[in-house]
Structure formats: C-alpha cells, structure tokens
C-alpha cells in the first residue's frame, strides 16, 4: 500500500521543496485579499445555511472559529459597506453555530463534550492578552537548522519515510477527545485543589484561577518527547492550543507557546514536503489543517502565512463554495444535498476557519 501511494504521488512530477520567505501581505494577489477571502467564506457559509439539518461537528467547529475571526475584525475601523458585509456574514455564522444546541444531549461521551464546548466562537476570539512569546536565540538557531535541513534532504526519500510514519504514534482520535475533555471539564477535580476565600475583597464575578490536573495517560499521549506525524501531530497541536486558551494557574504560558512552536517546526517539515510534491489530493485536507493551526498558534512561524500556500488552498474551493476530499468521490451518494454530493465536511470546516483567519491577519494589526 505504501509503495502504491508513493507511485501515485511521484508519477509525472518532480518533487521540490519550497521555503517561504515571509512575503508581506501588501504584495498578495487580489484573490487573497481580505475582501476576497470573506466573499469565499460567505459562499461556504451559504452552503451550511442551506443544509442546516445535515451539519457535522467538524464543520460547525470551523464555522465557530471563522465567526470568532469576524468578531475580531468588527472591532477594527472598517468602511461602511465592508462592515455591513462582515456583520451579515457573522449573523449567518451565528445561525450555523447554533445547530450544536440540538445535536447532543448530556451526559454523553468525550467527543460530544469537546464538541459542545469548543463550538463556541467566544472561545476562539484572539483577545485577552494572548500573544506570541518571543523566540530566543537558541530557538532561532534551531529553527534555521531545521529549515536548512529541508533543503538538503532527498524529497523522495522523505516522502517514502513519511508515508511509512504517518499512521504511527499518537495521540489517537479517541485519546485526543479524552485529553481535550480533561482540559475543558475539570471542575470536579479542581475543586479539591484550592478553597475559595469567603472573606475575599475580589468582585464575585472574578473566579479563582483553575489548576490543571492531567491524567497520566494524557500526559504521556501529549508529551513533546514522543514524535507524532500527520493528523496525530495536528491533534497534539490542537491540545496545546486549547491548553493555552484555558489559562491554568499552574501552567506557564511560555511553556505552552514553546510547545506550540516545537510542534509547528515539526509540522513545517511535513507541510513543505506536501507542497514540494504539488499538494497531492491525498494530503490536501491535512495540509489545510497544518496551515490553519500553525498560523493560528500563539507562537506562529512566518512560513505558514506563505501566500503561495494560501493561493493553492483557495484554488481547491469548488463551485458549490465548499471543499471536496478526493476519497469521497464515487461513493455512490447522489442527490441535491451539497454536503454529501459536493463537500467534505471536515475539509470544508477547516476551509472556513482558514478564510476567517487569513482575512483577520490582514485586517487586524
């Protein structure tokens, strides 16, 4: 199977590794400008509105993240017509996001808990003092060494090794949900770790800082000392993104930001490999997830805001306004439902988050 995939990937093409030079946003093509990205997001959201009853949690999460970016954009000075458009788009996202209320009943499993709590645009807004930790000189040298290594490695050998490793490691999808739920729902454990001061002068609206208690299993699954690949690696990064946003009293933000940077340096190696092979269909969904998560992180690498990468992703949006994963083709599903005939819900959800994020990165300084 590995050899077959490798043959499909390499047939008729010569691999090349392309490194971003951090092109300034002002030089991007018109189709990558924020207004163009917001129009694309609007088309995507319209598909979701038209298929409201068939939305999945993957798609809803992407819409919630995109909605958070729109809310941040609306806090900036905008032209009247632009503001009206963004406000209208945010209202559509609110409607789509509200679908989560009718999907799950509680109590339920870890996936339902995580979905219910993460599908909330307020959780993903980029406010509250979350900033990238500065890279020290040692980290900068290490990053440069890793990037230079990409240029000397044999791309074909890298791809062969990648195909063999992509399913190895952890966390698994189940572990990812369970560990995210430990970050999001831990009041029953944390109430035994501090006592509230009834004589405190603090306003009642200010809660005591939460402390993280992570199980031994999740500590092992999310350890930076264990290498992960593919979706295992992006799931690990998602864990560190949520960890950073929870602001636990016993977790240093610099540790979280450094962990995100370390993971994105590993992801960059994979993303460059995928781009070097001209974005094979097999890896497009993963590539979009890699670019979004690392561009969104608290310690972003400029490589992930490469306009060439964004241009490639934009070109994958189809005429329906969504994204289609090639493996879903020919599955026998027919009908008028765009979400089953023309769209891959996970890929479309990531696309929504990407459009919102890259519009915000250009509009919000």
Residue 217 has phi, psi (to 5 degrees) of -65, -40
Are 352 and 45 spatial neighbours (Cβ–Cβ below 8 Å)? yes
235: helix, coil or strand?
helix
- Separation of CA 340 from chain center: 23
Are 20 and 306 spatial neighbours (Cβ–Cβ below 8 Å)? yes
Residue 347 has which token pair? 């890929």
Kindly report the CA angle at 267 between 134 and 276, in degrees rounded to 5?
Answer: 120
Question: In this predicted structure, what is the pLDDT of residue 333?
Answer: 52
Question: In this predicted structure, what is the pLDDT of residue 159?
Answer: 74
Question: In this predicted structure, what is the pLDDT of residue 134?
Answer: 41
| Regions in the chain scoring below 50 on pLDDT | 1-24, 128-144, 146-152, 187-207, 330-332
**pTM, whole model, 2 decimals?**
0.81
Question: HEC string of 296-361?
Answer: HCCCCCHHHHCHHHHHHHHHCCCCCCCCCCHHHCCCCCCCCCHHHHCCCHHHHHHHHHHHHHHHHH
Q: 256-296 pLDDT, tens per residue?
A: 999 999 999 999 999 999 999 999 998 999 999 999 999 99
Question: In this predicted structure, what is the pLDDT of residue 14?
Answer: 33
Residue 330 has which token pair? 């020919």
User: CA 43, CA 307: separation in Å to the nearest integer?
Assistant: 21
CATH 1.50.10, applies to 30-124+157-188+210-363: yes
Question: In this predicted structure, what is the pLDDT of residue 291?
Answer: 98
Region of 332 (left: φ > 0; alpha: ψ -120 to 50; beta: rest) is left
């Amino acid at each position: 199977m590995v050899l077959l995939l490798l043959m499909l990937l390499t047939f008729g093409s010569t691999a090349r590794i392309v490194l971003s030079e951090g092109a300034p946003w002002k030089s991007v093509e018109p189709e990558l400008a924020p207004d163009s990205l917001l129009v694309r997001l609007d088309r995507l959201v319209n598909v979701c509105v038209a298929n409201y009853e068939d939305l999945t949690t993957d798609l809803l999460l992407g819409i919630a993240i995109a909605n958070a970016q729109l809310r941040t954009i609306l806090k900036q000075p905008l032209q009247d017509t632009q503001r009206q458009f963004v406000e209208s788009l945010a209202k559509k996202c609110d409607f789509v996001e509200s679908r989560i209320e009718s999907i799950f009943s509680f109590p339920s499993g870890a996936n339902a808990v995580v979905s219910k709590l993460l599908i909330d645009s307020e959780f993903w807004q980029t406010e509250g003092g979350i900033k990238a930790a500065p890279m020290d000189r040692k980290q900068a040298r290490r990053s440069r060494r890793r990037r230079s290594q990409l240029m000397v490695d044999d791309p074909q050998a890298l791809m062969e090794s990648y195909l063999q490793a992509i399913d190895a490691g952890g966390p698994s999808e189940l572990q990812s949900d369970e560990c995210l739920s430990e970050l999001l729902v831990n009041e029953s454990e944390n109430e035994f770790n501090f006592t509230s001061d009834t004589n405190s002068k603090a306003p009642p609206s200010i809660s005591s800082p939460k402390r993280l208690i992570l199980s031994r299993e999740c500590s092992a699954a999310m350890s930076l000392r264990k290498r992960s690949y593919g979706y295992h690696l992006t799931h690990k990064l998602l864990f560190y993104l949520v960890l950073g946003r929870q602001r636990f009293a016993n977790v240093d933000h610099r540790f979280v930001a450094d962990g995100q940077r370390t993971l994105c340096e590993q992801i960059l190696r994979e993303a460059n490999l995928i781009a070097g092979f001209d974005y094979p269909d097999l890896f497009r969904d993963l590539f979009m997830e890699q670019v979004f998560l690392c561009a969104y992180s608290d310690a972003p690498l400029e490589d992930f805001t490469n306009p060439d990468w964004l241009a490639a992703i934009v070109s994958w949006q189809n005429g329906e306004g969504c994204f289609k994963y090639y493996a879903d083709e020919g599955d026998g599903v027919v009908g008028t439902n765009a979400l089953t005939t023309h769209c891959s819900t996970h890929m479309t959800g990531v696309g929504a988050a990407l459009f919102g994020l890259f519009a915000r990165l250009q509009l919000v300084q």
